[in-house]
Amino acid sequence: MNILITGASGLIGTAIIEKLQGQDHKIYAISRSNKKSNGNINWIKHDLYNDSVSSLILPKKIDVVFHLSGQTSIYDARKNPIFDLNANVLGFLNLLEYFKSQRQKPFVVLAGTATEAGIVDLLPINEKTQDRPITFYDLSKLTAEMYLKQYIREGWARGCILRLANVYGRSQKQQLEDRGIVDKIFRRALAKKNITVFGDGNYIRDYVFIDDVVMAFILSEQFSVKTNGLTFYIGSGKGIALKDAFQAIIYLAAKLTGKTVSCEHVKPPDNLSEIEFRDAIIDSSAFTNLTGWKPRYSFTEGLDIAYKNYFDK
């Protein structure tokens, strides 16, 4: 297949490329940074919002688009909602318009986020949960989803949405500080720096390992006849308190350094978003029933695999 990946240099894009590059596919990887093409990977420096869509040089036929591009900070979105809208909605619209006139439409898999549901009263979260976004970031993500579904209704596109839980594993250096908290805590513990938890740390999270997320993206296209036009939640189905997740990370780092750092509970800062205090456990049964996908890794198993390279040194 000819596969287009936007936001290809990020955490999920990098992992998808690693999974697919040894197979018989042509991969077109869009990034805002310069990278050298090699083998079956063609890197394209392009900004979907700021650069003209007509400047994109792609083959006439693209089979699948994994759309991962956008801005991911709830705090940057709050500071500059227009920038957030441009990056997460208008940039995506430019991409949809690019493919609109093609006779054979690619299947577009849009990366969403479980936080679009907002603060929920009932767990687990699934497709029946009402959307109540409480951040500008989640508003823009939900708007992008609605545009994709409208394009599908008009017959201008095919695709589906995967709303992701807390993805972890194999982080990239360019990740923002308020994303990839598992990797951030691990790096701090390795540096023998104490860990800070806001409040009691009893907020429940659903951590899903990157390899499981990659398979969800791949299977969503393989079962496109069933998944077209739908939104799915992707998570491990297991909840773990934030403080317990941090302790598991601290324990793993202690095996490497011989030193266990402390975990200090402090008062949350006044500007901390309300979404940080949410509880979340994801029910992915709708996606499982259609595709057979199931998460393979528990939280501790994912940690061991994610940081195996540290132990191999």
pLDDT digit of tens for each residue in the chain (313 aa)?
999 999 999 889 999 999 998 889 999 999 988 788 888 899 999 999 999 888 888 998 999 999 999 999 999 999 999 999 999 999 999 999 999 988 889 999 999 999 999 999 999 999 999 999 999 999 999 999 999 999 999 999 999 999 999 999 875 444 444 447 888 898 889 889 999 999 999 999 999 999 999 999 999 999 999 999 999 999 999 999 999 999 999 999 898 888 899 999 999 999 999 999 999 999 999 999 999 999 999 999 999 888 876 666 5
CA dihedral 276, 281, 286, 291 (to 10 degrees): 90
- Reading the block at residue 47, the tokens are 């900004």
- Reading the block at residue 231, the tokens are 């939104």
Question: How many angstroms separate the first and last alpha carbons of the chain?
Answer: 37
Give 233's contacts (C-beta < 8 A, 6+ positions apart).
114, 125, 126, 127, 163, 165, 282, 283, 284, 286, 287
What the chain holds in terms of domains, given with CATH numbers, is 2-169+209-236+282-296 (3.40.50.720)
